Amino acid sequence: MRQLLKSREAILAGAILILVGLISTRFGEFAAPANLINVFNDTSILIMLALGQMVVIVSRCIDLSVASNLALTGMVVAILNTIAPDLPVPVLLLIAVLFGAMLGAINGVLVWKLDIPPIVVTLGTLTIFRGLIFLISNGEWINAHEMTASFKAFPRYELLGLSLLTWLAIATIGVFFVLVTRTPSGRAFYAVGGNPHAAVYTGIDVGYTRFLAFVISGAVSGLCGYLWVARYAVAYVDIAGGFELEVVAACVIGGISIAGGIGSVGGAVMGALFLGIVKNALPVVNISPFWQLAISGSAIIIAVAFNARSERKKGRIILKQAERMA
């Protein structure tokens, strides 16, 4: 099993290297370290969201509300910043994480206590959160000049040659790696996703574990909400519209099985990086940015087809034949 995961990531890493190689034949500067750091920085938010989503998908759920959560939390901290400019950024950061986690907890409770399918819950909260932004902002934009300088500067602040945004992404990767591979609750996500019934018999509370996954995903979305608004220095109703599907796409490309139980931190990060590289490379190699959507769509389909091949369980012989006959 471990070998399989390793090889899957190796293949993905190979694909990314080939991609970067191909791009640099058209435009040599692309592979320069400075540019790659830029690409990573630009992809940081997607990486973090993909990690949060990974935990949810691994426990056999899905969270479609991440982009709306991000936008709502972003708007909340932006409004806080305009009415209380003295509030230091770390406090806002904490508020963003807690607020996002609270929104995630709403999803989690509905899935845990009422047993509503996650896709229905998050489809509902996707529209509700998005609508709430309109209610609290009256549909107005919060522009750069209304935000304080420190609010906007935080993600761009350079430390040892990398921006704080990049450092946060790296820290998130580290935290998730430890969480997923070294803690009991991290392993519980895999148990719950792999086989919920078996998980119950080993003493894992399936509902609670899923609740936890949604809270984590919500907290990450909240954090990204602040980062997004601060980075682009604008907050309005439609920010990150449709981004939830890009996040799911990153996970799928990263080899995380939508059926639950399979996936790794490295996979999620590389899936996000793949999309980030494509997005950043298109203008450089003179392909119209309108190609991006079709390319990522094809990448998803290829990745799924590829994953399914290695994931396919060996069924009973009679079943296999029956399947082939159909």
Q: Which of 34, 160, 294, 317 binds another protein (CB under 8 A)?
A: 294
Using the structure block, give the residue that is written with the tokens 């409004």.
79
User: Do residues 300 and 249 make contact, with C-beta atoms less than 8 angstroms apart?
Assistant: yes
Instruction: Identify the bridge partners of residue 142 per DSSP, sorted by sequence position.
Output: 235
Q: Does 305 bind another protein (CB under 8 A)?
A: yes
Q: Does 130 bind another protein (CB under 8 A)?
A: yes
- Helix, strand or coil for residue 139? coil
User: Do residues 254 and 267 make contact, with C-beta atoms less than 8 angstroms apart?
Assistant: yes
* Rounded Cα–Cα distance for residues 36 and 40 (Å): 6
Which 8-state DSSP code applies to residue 30?
Answer: G
* Rounded Cα–Cα distance for residues 314 and 297 (Å): 29
**Beta carbon of residue 201, minimum distance to another protein (angstroms, whole number):** 10
Q: Does 237 bind another protein (CB under 8 A)?
A: yes
**Beta carbon of residue 296, minimum distance to another protein (angstroms, whole number):** 5
Q: Does 314 bind another protein (CB under 8 A)?
A: no
Q: Say if residue 11 is exposed, middle or buried (CB neighbours under 10 Å; 0-12, 13-18, 19+).
A: middle
Q: Report residue 183 as tokens.
A: 């803690």
- Report in angstroms the alpha-carbon separations of 32 from 24, 36, 38, 164: 9, 6, 10, 21
Q: Which stretch binds another protein (CB under 8 A): 37-45, 70-78, 129-137, 142-150?
A: 129-137
- Of the two residues 184 and 242, which places its CB atom closer to another protein in the complex? 242
Q: Which stretch binds another protein (CB under 8 A): 6-14, 35-43, 156-164, 316-324?
A: 316-324
* Rounded Cα–Cα distance for residues 302 and 294 (Å): 12
Residues that bind another protein (rule: CB under 8 A) add up to a total of 58
Q: Which stretch binds another protein (CB under 8 A): 123-131, 168-176, 182-190, 265-273?
A: 123-131
- Of the two residues 79 and 109, which places its CB atom closer to another protein in the complex? 109
**Beta carbon of residue 134, minimum distance to another protein (angstroms, whole number):** 4
Q: What is the CA radius of gyration of the chain?
A: 20
**Which residues contribute to the site for another protein (CB under 8 A)?**
60, 62, 64, 110, 114-117, 119-121, 123-128, 130-132, 134-135, 139, 192, 196-197, 199-200, 206, 237, 242, 245, 248-249, 252, 258-259, 288, 290-301, 304-305, 308, 312, 319, 322-323, 326
